[in-house]
Structure 1
Amino acid sequence: MKNFTQIIFIFLFATGQLFSQQEKGILGSENWLNNWTEFRPNQSDYGEPTKILAGNITENTILKKSQVYLLLGSVFVTNGATLTIEPGTVIMGDQKTNGSLTITKGAKIEASGLPTDPIVFTSNRTVKRAGDWGGIIMLGNAASNRFGNGSASSFFPDLPPSNYALANYGGENGQDDSGILKFVRIEYAGKRLKNGSYFSGLLLAGIGNSTTLENIMVSYSGGNAFDVWGGRLDMVNMVSFRANNNDYEFNFGAQCHLTNSLAVRSPYVSNSTGSRCLRVMSYDRKENIDFSKKATSIVAKNITFVNDSPDLETDIKMGLVKAAVYVGDYASLDMNKSVISGFNPAVILEDKISVNQQNLEKIKFKSMYFNNCNGNIFVENNANNEDLENWYGNSAFFNVYSKSPNAETFIDFYNERRPDFRLRINKIIASNEVDPDLRMD
């Protein structure tokens, strides 16, 4: 009986260990990327536009799957109208006129695709490139930490002064509802503007948590893939693929839960000047924000950040690979049960952040899997990270450190059509000890 009890205990312990390891990175009993995502969008033929969308949409409108739509210039959904998009509909952004779609405060978008019939926003060019068209902008009534309300007018340099209000966002309604984006792809957005800035694939400004944001893929964005300014929102099953700039950027008091989401970076596509998988900030300029309001606070759970360098060591030497995560002053990040694989290093904290208990309690990394990174967590411009390693390497945080190639780390990393970025569980060797080879020189 005693032996039987011991066997049961060992079995339960091993099973518990297995399932605890399965909890790291993106989850799913099946590969939830199947069917609705597209990792080779340049090989997709969506046909030619059959209808034009231009100017302001001021009444409830339905876009039908039977048509292919062209966004000509800056298109605004206004006057409290709802833009409904049928599953399988294709909308193209015009390259010459910086085609973009903006959902203004009080208006809604109901873009609810299906796993087998996603809604696609893409470029109208024959040979598509990152930054061909503007992107999608959603403006809501939730709070930011700016003085007064914010504006996205910088994206519309030709907007008449009488229409400036169309670009405003922000308020006090954390429950605001801007509609639904679900099973949606946004390809080749992020156009560069004359002022040197970029559109984002999807900009969410002042969005409330009654808005549904699930299963959204942004691929080959010229600017940030997902950009969040203020607001209070939940983002589930997001995918950023080969963005030129940041994959996920949060700023201006954003209060956000990012769950079960993925970013895949390429050193030959991504901007090498400092773009990240995750950038968490509370301000661009201190004089523009109200410190009596909430600072940016992000909870990121079951996230996978991976760099697909075929020769990581060489790409790092050439300066093509940067840190995966950047946390700025006065911002909070709680990142847990997540994977960071193949970066230089894994995390950078802004040099304004002093390494003390008060600050580190606002920047949490727990039950993480740090793999094949050239160093783990550092303060910007400081190669001595001993205090940070001692803090985050404590066994109480349950962080795991490893060094293995992507093909051995993920289930089907190099499948171009249907990759699977879930972890190969049997390849994880749980350890709370930091491999000295993983430290930055």
Structure 2
Amino acid sequence: MKKFAHIIGIILLVIGNTYAQQEKGIVGANNWLNNWTEFNPNQVDYGEATQILAGKISQDTKLYKKHVYLLMGSVFVTDNATLTIEPGTVIIGDYASKASLTITKGAKIIADGLETDPIVFTSNRGVKRSGDWGGLIILGDAPSNKFGNGSVASYHSELNAADYVYTNFGGTDLKSNSGILRYVRIEYAGKRIRGVGNFNGLLLAGVGNKTTFENVMVSFSAGDSFEVWGGDVNLTNMVSYNSNNNDYGFNFGTQSQLVNSLAIRSPYISSSSGSRCLQIRSYDKKEEVDFSKKGTSVIAKNLTFINTSENLENDIKMGLVKEAVYIGANTSLDMDRSVISGFNPAVILEDDININIDNLEKIKFSDMYFNNCNGNIFVENNSNNEDLENWYGNRAFFNVYSKGRNSETFIDIKNSKRPDFRLRINKIAATNVDSD
């Protein structure tokens, strides 16, 4: 009887561990990256442009898969118009004119691709590089913590004064609807603007929660892959691949959710200022925001952050690997069931954050899988993290710490065509059982 009970106990432990591990990191019964993602976009021939998009789109317009569109200069969808893009359509951003597409406040984009027929925004250069063109900007009517409304005018220095109205964002409507982005790829965006910095692959400013964002991949962006300013945004099944800057940035009082999403960082692709998988801030400068309004708050579930170093120790010594997550003052983060693998360290808290109960209750890490990181959670410029280790290491948070190689931790990380970044369940479960 005792032997039988022992066997049942082991079986239950294996099942329990397998179930628990399947909850961590990106999840799915199948590899949801298949078919619509592309990890080698420079090898894809998208064909020659047959149509041009330029200036303002002020009435409802549809783009068709049968054409390839060349985006030239700063293109604005205005006057409450809707831009509808058929599945499989390719839009090529022009390098010379610093092309970008902006959906202005009140207008909509319906880019509703299919898993087998995604919509693609990419570069028009023969040899494509990060920052070849601007990117996609969506402006909405939801609030931020800025004084008054915000503007993205700095990205469009060539505009006439009368057109600056098209760069404004923000309002009071949390439920505003700017359309749909689903099964969409954005490649080689992030053009540098003198005195401003880089465009982002996808910038969402004041966007409301009736807008749909599902299955969007941003690859080889010279700016942030995904940047969210204010608004109330839900992002599901996002992919950031080989960004020069941050993978996911949240700022200016946004109330956002990031779910079942992935960031893959290379130690050899990064901006000079350092880059993170996730950066959460409430402001860039204190004087630009109203502290009576909500600070930035992010709920992050089932995320996988991976640094692809082949020699992590050496890359850290060379200064090529930084933290995965950076949390600024006056923000909150609830992050759980997520995986952070191969960073230096996993998390940094801004040094303006006082380590006390009130602040720690705003910064939650639970059911996490910290793997092969050079330290876990630290305050900026402070190497003594004993209090944080004791807090987040408490069994009540169910956080797990490991030192496995990426090839042992994830199902098929080196498959160039169909990589699978879900956790390798059986090996982890077996390891847990053997240790008991």
Same fold, TM-score > 0.5, yes or no: yes
Calculate the TM-score normalised by the size of structure 2. 0.97
Residue 429 of structure 1: how far off its partner (Å): 6.4
Change (3 A) 1:310 1:100: same
Q: Is the 8 Å Cα contact of residues 143 and 171 (structure 2) preserved in structure 1? A: yes
Residue 13 of structure 1: how far off its partner (Å): 4.0
The one-letter code sitting in structure 2 at the alignment partner of 1:240 is S
> Aligned equivalents of 1:282 and 1:345: distance in 2?
22
The one-letter code sitting in structure 2 at the alignment partner of 1:421 is F
Report the equivalent of 2:384: 384
The one-letter code sitting in structure 2 at the alignment partner of 1:97 is S
Gaps of 5+ in 1: 433-441
Coordinate RMSD, CA, aligned:
1.5
Number of equivalent positions? 432
Matched, 1:404 2:404: yes
Per-residue displacement from partner, 1:346-391 (whole Å, max 9, x unpaired)?
0000000011111111011100000010010000000010111001
The alignment partner of 1:259 has SS state of strand
Alignment of 1:291-370 (within 5 A): 291-370=291-370
The one-letter code sitting in structure 2 at the alignment partner of 1:35 is N
Change (3 A) 1:430 1:303: farther
> Aligned equivalents of 1:196 and 1:144: distance in 2?
21
Residue 18 of structure 1: how far off its partner (Å): 1.3
Matched, 1:204 2:204: yes
The one-letter code sitting in structure 1 at the alignment partner of 2:50 is T
Matched, 1:413 2:422: no
Report the equivalent of 1:222: 222
Q: Is the 8 Å Cα contact of residues 155 and 196 (structure 2) preserved in structure 1? A: no
Residue 268 of structure 1: how far off its partner (Å): 0.9
What is the percent sequence identity of the aligned residues?
67
> Aligned equivalents of 1:115 and 1:122: distance in 2?
18
Report the equivalent of 1:17: 17
Residue 196 of structure 1: how far off its partner (Å): 4.1
> Aligned equivalents of 2:272 and 2:344: distance in 1?
12
Report the equivalent of 1:439: none
> Aligned equivalents of 2:417 and 2:227: distance in 1?
27
The alignment partner of 1:387 has SS state of helix
Per-residue displacement from partner, 1:178-226 (whole Å, max 9, x unpaired)?
0000000000000000114110000000011100000000000010000
Report the equivalent of 1:232: 232
> Aligned equivalents of 1:359 and 1:430: distance in 2?
37
The alignment partner of 1:164 has SS state of helix
Report the equivalent of 1:92: 92
> Aligned equivalents of 2:377 and 2:309: distance in 1?
20
Report the equivalent of 1:436: none
> Aligned equivalents of 2:193 and 2:19: distance in 1?
47
Per-residue displacement from partner, 1:45-72 (whole Å, max 9, x unpaired)?
0011111000000000000000000110
Report the equivalent of 2:192: 192
Matched, 1:258 2:255: no
Gaps of 5+ in 2: none
Report the equivalent of 1:371: 371
> Aligned equivalents of 1:163 and 1:428: distance in 2?
56
Residue 3 of structure 1: how far off its partner (Å): 7.1
Report the equivalent of 2:146: 146
Residue 275 of structure 1: how far off its partner (Å): 1.1
The one-letter code sitting in structure 2 at the alignment partner of 1:407 is S
Report the equivalent of 1:435: none
Report the equivalent of 1:35: 35
Per-residue displacement from partner, 1:200-259 (whole Å, max 9, x unpaired)?
000000011100000000000010000000000110000000000000000000100100
